[in-house]
Amino acid sequence: MPEVDGRSPVALALARFRSQRSARVGLGVIIGFALLGIYAPFIASETAWVWWDDAGLRFPVLAELFNRLRYGERYDLFFNMLALAVPPVAVVAVVLRKRIAPARIVRWGLALTTLVWIAFQIPILPPQGEGTAWRAVWTNRPLATDTWGGYQQIDRLRSEGVASAARRRDLLRTSDGERVRVLFKTTRPVASDGSAIIDGSAPDAAARATFVVVRPDGQPRAEPRYLPPDQLEAVVPRLTLFPPVVHDYDTPYSGTVLVTPFTKNEQTGQRFWLGADASGQDIFARMLFGARISLTIGVVATVIAMSIGIFIGAVSGFFGGWIDIVLQRIVEIMMCFPSFLLILVIVAMVGRDIMVIIIVSGFTGWAGTARLVRGEFLSQSSREYVLACRAMGLPRWRIMFKHILPNALTPLFIAAAFSVAGMILAESGLSFLGLVDSRTPSWGLVLSGGRQNPEYWHIIYAPGLAIFALVSALNLVGNALREAFDPKGAA
């Protein structure tokens, strides 16, 4: 490409992009939402940052980042890895900015994080004992909480100091000094392996008495024990540091249904910054983790749609003839269907899992990209450099994807920004209609709860403003890119 003042046209366009106030505001909002999603476990969680007692110094929040029982979705694993990768990548980018372009360092860091993310899901750890299988790093581990072995909690411990210890992932001591962790409390008997509630009477006491079921610390498969609450006391640590919001996003707190912002949770002593929903769950915590869902669906679905559209558009524009006719008829058929209604029908038929939504959104949103790429390839195919490549006998795939495609990427960047915004709106609409897993902290689900309880304004405005801000920021960036890469606006 020809250069102006020592800079290529792309560099000049990016400089114009950075000079626009709307672009800076949009990028700032997008980066802000991304950082909130990445560091959600460090902002809103009952898991301590630092815990120091007579057993030593520990960092519980780091220990749970790769625990599949705590964060069971693959996108959660990726965001948790980004939380650890962002600081070193930022430091390296600042230190080596004069030697290596920061954008290249960021790409390397993202690629390395992706490779490690894949590796953590592969069984690479050797068996721990005879009869056990190889394990992945991201696997089920006992939680430092009042659940055990992957079974759902029966009832959170809520009485006389023991509740506070259970809430804080604390250790307890029995009357004889043994360190234990709370599993759950029950007034009904439990199988000796902790797997199920069974009929009969509780061991060594009346069936209706309250028992705290515990296991020895550090022995996740040890047989649970039944102890009355008065035989337990909290371990008093030397130092603890907790997140600003000591509430889990997926925990329904009893007695806090539809409370208003800054209401104090009497069970935990913490306040709900944005109130609680109809299930007693912290809206602020759900908003933080909901940012992960919106960004994941927006980016991944757009990547899938853009990949399909680029391939079909490139083949259609480069080869022409009957191939072009057939492919364009397929594109026109896809464009005849309203994308959102098509996604709604398929998700309703196939399933409500987030991966289903991502795949369906990607495979139904490529038609516009295909037509855009086809037009760019048609205009580029008659250029001199393409004719030279043909004369040199270069393979067609190399001419298409190594020489023509880089010159056709500019409008794709613009389309990608608008596509991410559209995908986020589509996911929010599906969530609002209840066509996603009800356990996910989706912004649309929170907004749907506000629709069912319109008198509680905080449930409506919190997710509504978040969706509006993120989509508006993406549109600002898309408009700024369009103006920056428009040669007529390069005065």
Residue 228 lies in a domain: yes
Residue 51 lies in a domain: no
Q: Which residues contact 119 (CB under 8 A, 6 or more apart)?
A: 137
Residue 277 lies in a domain: no
Kindly state whether residues 337 and 403 are assigned to the same domain.
yes
Last residue of a domain, one of 182, 215, 242: 242
Q: How many domains does the chain have?
A: 3
Hey, what are 163's tokens? 């509740």
Last residue of a domain, one of 98, 127, 156: 127
Residue 194 lies in a domain: yes
pTM attached to this predicted model: 0.83
Kindly state whether residues 324 and 467 are assigned to the same domain.
yes
pLDDT of res. 348: 77
Kindly state whether residues 186 and 105 are assigned to the same domain.
no
Facing residues of 451 across strands? none
- Contact assessment for residue 146 and residue 183, using Cβ atoms and an 8 Å cutoff: yes
Last residue of a domain, one of 242, 273, 295: 242
Kindly state whether residues 324 and 413 are assigned to the same domain.
yes
Residue 6 lies in a domain: no
Kindly state whether residues 477 and 360 are assigned to the same domain.
yes
> Rounded CA gap, 118 and 124, in Å?
11
Kindly state whether residues 197 and 303 are assigned to the same domain.
no
pLDDT of res. 337: 79
Residue 132 lies in a domain: no
Residue 336 lies in a domain: yes
pLDDT of res. 152: 28
For the four alpha carbons of 7, 13, 14 and 20, in that order, the dihedral sign comes to positive
User: The domain containing residue 98 runs over which residues?
Assistant: 65-127
Residue 8 lies in a domain: no
- Contact assessment for residue 66 and residue 77, using Cβ atoms and an 8 Å cutoff: yes
Kindly state whether residues 324 and 447 are assigned to the same domain.
yes
Enumerate residue ranges in the chain where pLDDT < 50.
1, 3, 144-169, 189-208, 489-491
Kindly state whether residues 322 and 429 are assigned to the same domain.
yes
